């Protein structure tokens, strides 16, 4: 399964390696398609690949860490 997500990182989380943590904790791979990270906040368009239950667990983990997770429709490179 493939899932495309827009992640928004608040100040408290922006400097932490939460995306790498997700790849280590769950049986998924990721591709960063676009991102903008600054000192106070950041966002990332991410494509996750893996089993549906692993992706759901990864999304829940991100949300528990304070990351806002929104689905992306369509091609995330084209916008």
Q: For the chain, what is the domain count?
A: 1
Residue 30 has pLDDT above 70, yes or no: yes
Query: SS3 for 72?
Result: coil
CATH number at residue 43: 3.30.70.260
pLDDT digits (tens, 9 = 90+) for 35-48: 999 888 999 999 99
Among residues of the chain, what percentage have pLDDT more than 90?
A: 81
Q: Is the pLDDT of residue 67 over 80?
A: yes
Cα angle, residue 23 at apex, residues 20 and 63 outer, rounded to 5°: 80
Question: Is there a contact between 79 and 46 (Cβ–Cβ < 8 Å)?
Answer: no
In a domain, 77, yes or no: no
Domain limits for position 10: 2-71
The pLDDT of residue 4: 94
Rounded Cα distance, 58 and 5, in Å: 11
Specify the pTM.
0.86
Query: Percent of the chain beyond pLDDT 70?
Result: 92
């Amino acid at each position: 399964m493939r899932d495309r997500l827009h992640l928004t990182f608040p100040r408290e989380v922006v400097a932490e390696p939460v995306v790498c943590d997700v790849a280590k904790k769950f049986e998924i791979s990721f591709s960063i398609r676009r991102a903008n990270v600054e000192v106070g906040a950041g966002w990332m368009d991410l494509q996750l690949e893996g089993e549906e239950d692993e992706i759901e667990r990864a999304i829940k983990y991100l949300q528990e860490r304070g990351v806002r997770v929104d689905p992306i429709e369509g091609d995330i490179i084209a916008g």
